[in-house]
Amino acid sequence: MDIDTEAMKDFPKQSQPWPGWTNRLDPVPDHGETSYVGRGRLEGKRALITGGDSGIGRATAIAFAKEGADVAISYLEQEQEDAEETKKHVEAAGRRCVLVPTDQRTEEANIALARAAVEGLGGIDVLVNNAGYQMAQDSLADISDEQLRQTFETNIFAIFWLTKALLDDLQPGASIINCTSIQAFQPSETLLDYASTKAAINNLTVNLAAELGPKGIRVNAVAPGPIWTPLQPATKPAESMPEFGKNAPLGRAGHPIEVATAFVFLATDDASYVSGTVLGVTGGKPVF
């Protein structure tokens, strides 16, 4: 891929109201709009990607579409503008894009999301549990009960609820890919609740792979490192942005498309014997 890695080395101070918007990022990250070239490796597949409006979710939707998959994406209602942009790029690749605005913090919402995606695409072959919530805090005392619930309901409960709702629709050969994080292995003190959920996702992935393997369903996870998405300036202090990603061995943050390629691999038949694995895309930070 022809991507601008230099742009990921120095960020100006910046902040956004949560949940953040792509067009307000400086610089605007690469989601593979022009840099990613598909090879038909997901031809005929149907994928549901949560948090598909921006960041890693958008890049994964675009890459999947360029590989031949139709996609459905979920997102919060206030992210409609970003979701429409994702849809535009998916359709430009000649694939269908079903938009399903959903707050995944209840079981009922996830059941409705599953049904809307299955009906919109005619079935689901790949489930990408990517949606996540974080909010940096200086100490445990600063984490409100409301924040704790939102973090766990979005990052953990939603995966249980949505995957359960789709179990009867996933056939042998299907793939489930969860989005964990370097935070599961190297937690930041300011992301105590978020890092805890990501560690839980690692365990969930291994156990679910063991349960669903006999049914021919693979379950894996991708652990991104510092990736430039709206989540960063929307959940962390503005003054921390210039240093974002510089502590990675590669010396920079990553573009969302650099993570999406891992999701592509795990969704394809190239990964037919890969299950129960956490694949790190961390700029060199160890995931063990």
Q: Tell me: pLDDT of 82 over 90.
A: yes
Q: Tell me: pLDDT of 246 over 90.
A: yes
Cα-based torsion angle of the residue sequence 135, 141, 145, 151 in order, rounded to the nearest 10 degrees: 30
Q: Tell me: pLDDT of 288 over 90.
A: no
Q: Tell me: pLDDT of 1 over 90.
A: no
**What CATH number is given to the structural domain containing 90?**
3.40.50.720
Residue 26, domain member (yes or no): yes
**Any residues with CB less than 8 A from the CB of 233 and at least 6 apart, and which?**
14, 15, 16, 20, 24, 25, 241
Cα-based torsion angle of the residue sequence 155, 131, 18, 262 in order, rounded to the nearest 10 degrees: 120
Overall average pLDDT of the 51-73 stretch? 98
Per-residue pLDDT of 151-185, as tens digits, reads 999 999 999 999 999 999 999 999 999 999 999 99
Residue 135 carries which side chain, given as an amino acid letter? M
Give the domain range for residue 165.
Answer: 6-281
Residue 233, domain member (yes or no): yes
Residue 52, domain member (yes or no): yes
Closest by CA to 86, choosing from 134, 21, 25, 26, is 21
pLDDT at 136: 96
Average pLDDT of the chain, as a whole number: 97
Residue 13 carries which side chain, given as an amino acid letter? K
The CA distances from residue 219 to 39, 80, 171, 279, in Å, are 23, 29, 13, 12
pTM surpassing 0.85? yes
Domain count, the chain: 1
pLDDT at 281: 98
Per-residue pLDDT of 177-227, as tens digits, reads 999 999 999 999 999 999 999 999 999 999 999 999 999 999 999 999 999
Per-residue pLDDT of 31-50, as tens digits, reads 999 999 999 999 999 999 99
Residue 1, domain member (yes or no): no
Residue 87 and residue 95: Cα distance in Å, rounded? 9
Q: How confident is residue 120, by pLDDT bands cut at 50, 70 and 90?
A: very high
Residue 164, domain member (yes or no): yes
Residue 168 carries which side chain, given as an amino acid letter? D
Overall average pLDDT of the 111-129 stretch? 98
Q: How many other C-beta atoms lie within 10 A of the C-beta of residue 108?
A: 9
Q: Tell me: pLDDT of 15 over 90.
A: yes
DSSP state of 170: P
pLDDT at 265: 98
pLDDT at 198: 98
36 is catalytic: no
Residue 287, domain member (yes or no): no
- The H or E element that residue 161 is part of is helix 158-166
The one catalytic residue among 36, 75, 133, 194? 194
Backbone torsion region of residue 99, taken as left when φ is above 0, otherwise alpha when ψ lies between -120 and 50, otherwise beta? beta
**Sheet order of strands, 97-101 included:** 97-101, 70-75, 46-50, 126-129, 175-179, 218-224, 278-281
Residue 36, domain member (yes or no): yes
From the number of C-beta atoms within 10 Å of its C-beta (0-12, 13-18, 19+), residue 78 rates as: middle
pLDDT at 112: 98
Residue 288, domain member (yes or no): no
Per-residue pLDDT of 129-159, as tens digits, reads 999 999 999 999 999 999 999 999 999 999 9
Q: How confident is residue 282, by pLDDT bands cut at 50, 70 and 90?
A: very high
